[in-house]
Structure 1
C-alpha cells in the first residue's frame, strides 16, 4: 500500500474500529450489569415478601407467592430440604438444590415441638400476641444472588435468584429462593448488540471515506510541490519556485523551506559559476603570457625572458594552490584538532619574510600561551595572506599584535595605507574581488587571499574583521577561541 491516502484511511478505520469495539463491549457489559441488578432487586423483593410470611408462621401451603411465572419461589429448611415451592414450578437450578417436590416437615404437622398440644399452644400464642418476637425475624443481611433456570408450566427460562433467610416462632430458619426473569435483559442486550453490529460497518465506511477525502485535500499542495520540483529538475532552472499554499500548516512550512533551499541552491550554483569564470579569467592571463614568452624563446632564444616565465609559473602555482584550498574548504574539510601557540606561529611566519618591501613589527610575548586548536598549515596561510595584503597597501609600516581577549586569542595586522572604505569592508572578503587601486595583476593578487583567510577563520570557530586604525590604514583582526 504505497499511497499515503490509503494508509491514512486504513489507519483511521482500524483505530475507529478498535475504539468502537471497546466502547461497544463496555456498553454491553454496563447494560447487562444494570439490567441484572434490576432483576436481582425484583427477586429480592419477592423473596422478602415470602420470608415475611414465613416469619409470621403462615403455613407452607397457604403462602402467597405472587406471580409464580415471573417469580418462581423455592423454600428450603436448614437441612436443605424443600418445604415449599410456587405453583407450576416443574424444574429449577441455581438455588443449591434442583428438587421441586416439597417434603412434609414434622413442624408442619405439630410433632417437632411436642405434638398437637404444642401446636395448639402456638396457635393460642399467635392469637393472643404473646409469642416471643425475638424468635420471628427476616434476615436483613444482603441476600445472595445467583443465576439459574426454572421451568414453570412447561416454559424454561433464565432467572436471577435472590436467597433470603427467615426464622419462624419455632426457631426454624428457612431460606427463600425467589427468581426474576432475565428475558428483558437478554432482549435488550441482544438488541443493542445487533444495532452495533449493523451500524459498525456503516460507521467504518464513513470514516474511511471521510479520511480519504480529507487526506486527498490536505495532500493536494504536496502533489503540486512534487510536480514543480520534478519540472525544476528536468529544466535545471533554479529560478523557479514551488507554490506556497495560503494556509499556515506543516505543508505551507514545507513549501517555504523548499523555496528557501532552492534559493540557497541557486545562490550556490551562481557562486560556483562565477568562481569557475573568474578562475578561468585569472588563469588565462598568466598562461597566455607564459605561452607568448615560450613561443618567442623558441623562435628567438636570445629574447627569452626567463625571469618573467619563472614569475608567471610561480603565479600559476600560487593560484592553483589557492583554488585547491578553496575547493577543499567548500568540500567541508575540517581543521585539525592539534593545539598550537598562535604567538609563536606569528613570530615564525614573520621571520621567514625576508624579502618584504616594508619590515613587519611584532608585539607578542615569546611563549605567551596564546594556544588555539586547529590546522597549523591553514592558520599559517591566514597570517601570510593578511601580511601580504598589508604589504601591498602599506606606505611605511606594518605591525602585528597578538593578545588574549574575552576567551579568544586575537591577531591584529595593521598598516598605514589608505584603509578600506566602509561600504567595501564586507565585499573584500568575496572571492576574486579587488578594489580599484589593486587591480594590477603584477603587484596585486587574484583576490583570493582574504576570502581564504575568512573561510579558514570561520571553520576554526572564529572570525575575521576589518576596521580602520583611527588615523589611516586598515586593521584586520583574526579572532580564534582560546584552547585553554
Structure 2
C-alpha cells in the first residue's frame, strides 16, 4: 500500500534540516574565525617584535625565536616551511584531531624586513603541553571549546524547533479548520458568510471551494428544474401518442379508414416532433441558452386549435363547456416557447375546471383564457399548476410579453400579448 506523505511533517523536516545545516555552517564559521583571530593576534605580536627588537644573533622574546639568518631558525621550522622571500611573509601549520578540536601543535613563521635592509625571521612552536596550559588558562572554569560549540548548536536547534512548533501550529490550525469546513459544507451553508481562515491564501482557497460547490449546486438545481419541467411538459404529447396509438389499433381492422388512419398518424408524428422541440427548448432554457432560439412565422389560431385538441383528454368525462374564438393571423415568434406558454395556460384552465366553462379568445397577438368552475372542489392546488406557471413566467419575463392574471373566487382570467414591448 502506498504511504501518503504528510505535508506538515515534510515541511517541518525540511526546515529543520535546513536549520541544522545553517547551525553547522555557522559553527564551522565560528571555529574558523576563532583560528583567524589567533593568527591575527600572533601576527601582530610578531610584527611588533620585529619592529622594536634589536637582535645581534639569536633572541627569545615572549616565547618567539628571533634570528637574522635563515640557518639559525629551528630545524623543525625549516623542515616544515620553505624560506620566506618577501616582507611580512607569514606561514603557519596547525595540527589537530578534527576541525572542531583545539590544536595539539602549531608552528608559525614570519619574515620581517627593516628599513636598513636587516632581515629578521620570527618563529614560534606551540606544542601540546603549551596548548593545554594556554587552554586551561583561557578556559578556566569553562567547558572545552568543542563542548561549547556543540552546546550552542544544540540550544540554537532547540530554540528553532520550539519556534517552528508554534509557527506550525499557527499555520496548521487554520488549514485544519479549512479542511473541516470544506468537509462539512452543505448546500444550505453556501449562502452563509464564509469563515475567516486568517491568511489570504487560505481565504482564496476557501472561496474557490465555495464557488466550485455553488457551481455544482447550481448545475444540479438546473438539471432538477429541467427534469421537472420536462416531465410536466411531456405529459400532453405522451398522452396524445397513447390515445392516438390506441385509436390507430382500432382503425387497422376497419375497412375504408385510410384517411382516418393518416390523420391519426399525423397527430402521432406531430406529438413526436413536439416532444423533441420541447426537450431542446427546455435544455436551452435551463442552461441559459434560450436566446439562441430563432423566430419563425407562427399562426396563433392554428396553434391554439391544435393545443385544444391535444389537451381534450383533460376534460374528458367532465361537464365542461369550451368556447373558442379565433381570428387567426401569423406572428413572428419562437415557436416552441409560445407553444409551451399557451399549452400551460390552456392546460391549467382545463385542469382547474371540474364543472363549468372555459373561454379561449384570440385576436391578433393577444390571447385571453378564462375559466369558471361551478363545482365546490378546490382546484387551485392540483398537480402541475405551480410548475407550469413558473415556467410560463420565466419565458414571458425573458421575451417581455405582456402577461396578466386576474383571480376570481370561481376561476381566473389570463391575458397574454405576444408582441414585444
Q: TM-score, normalised by structure 2?
A: 0.55
Gap change, CA 1:65 and 1:208, over 3 Å in 2:
closer
Q: CA deviation at 1:231?
A: 4.7
Contact 1:28 1:193 in 2 (8 A): no
Contact 2:230 2:278 in 1 (8 A): no
Alignment pair present for 1:143 and 2:79: no
Alignment pair present for 1:75 and 2:68: yes
Q: CA deviation at 1:5?
A: 1.6
Gap change, CA 1:180 and 1:49, over 3 Å in 2:
farther
Contact 1:8 1:211 in 2 (8 A): no
Aligned equivalent of 2:244: 293
In structure 1, C-alpha distance between the alignment counterparts of 2:14 and 2:337, rounded to whole Å: 54
Alignment pair present for 1:387 and 2:295: yes
Aligned equivalent of 2:319: none
Alignment match of 1:310 (pick from 249, 266, 277): 266
Alignment match of 1:19 (pick from 4, 17, 22): 22
**Superimposed CA distance per residue, residues 341-386 of structure 1 (whole angstroms, 9 cap, x where no aligned partner):** xxxxxxxxxxxxxxxxxxxxxxxxxxxxxxxxxxxxx9xx95xx42
In structure 1, C-alpha distance between the alignment counterparts of 2:343 and 2:279, rounded to whole Å: 23
Gap change, CA 1:290 and 1:148, over 3 Å in 2:
closer
Contact 1:8 1:215 in 2 (8 A): no
In structure 2, C-alpha distance between the alignment counterparts of 1:164 and 1:322, rounded to whole Å: 108
- Report SS of the residue matched to 1:163: strand
Gaps of 5+ in 1: 98-138, 151-155, 332-377, 395-414, 420-427, 452-464, 476-484
Aligned equivalent of 2:406: none
In structure 2, C-alpha distance between the alignment counterparts of 1:230 and 1:180, rounded to whole Å: 74
Question: What is the correspondence of 1:195-210 to structure 2 with a 5 Å cutoff?
Answer: 195-210=148-163
Aligned equivalent of 2:171: 218
Contact 1:143 1:164 in 2 (8 A): yes
Gap change, CA 1:473 and 1:433, over 3 Å in 2:
closer
In structure 1, C-alpha distance between the alignment counterparts of 2:48 and 2:338, rounded to whole Å: 104
Q: CA deviation at 1:291?
A: 0.8
Contact 1:467 1:474 in 2 (8 A): yes
- Report SS of the residue matched to 1:386: coil
Gap change, CA 1:167 and 1:20, over 3 Å in 2:
closer
Query: Could you say which structure has the greater relative contact order, defined with CA pairs below 8 angstroms and 6 or more residues apart?
Result: 1
Alignment match of 1:177 (pick from 95, 98, 122): 122
Q: CA deviation at 1:90?
A: 8.7
Question: What is the correspondence of 1:108-187 to structure 2 with a 5 Å cutoff?
Answer: 142-148=87-93, 157-165=105-113, 174-179=119-124, 183=131
Gap change, CA 1:49 and 1:314, over 3 Å in 2:
same
**Superimposed CA distance per residue, residues 380-412 of structure 1 (whole angstroms, 9 cap, x where no aligned partner):** x95xx4222x63679xxxxxxxxxxxxxxxxxx
Q: CA deviation at 1:179?
A: 3.5
Question: What is the correspondence of 1:396-475 to structure 2 with a 5 Å cutoff?
Answer: 439=345, 473-474=419-420
Alignment match of 1:239 (pick from 166, 188, 212): 188
- Report SS of the residue matched to 2:5: coil
Gaps of 5+ in 2: 96-103, 302-328, 348-359, 368-387, 402-417
In structure 1, C-alpha distance between the alignment counterparts of 2:337 and 2:199, rounded to whole Å: 39
In structure 2, C-alpha distance between the alignment counterparts of 1:208 and 1:24, rounded to whole Å: 18
- Report SS of the residue matched to 1:244: coil
Gap change, CA 1:314 and 1:195, over 3 Å in 2:
farther
Alignment pair present for 1:268 and 2:268: no
- Report SS of the residue matched to 1:73: strand
Contact 2:298 2:330 in 1 (8 A): no
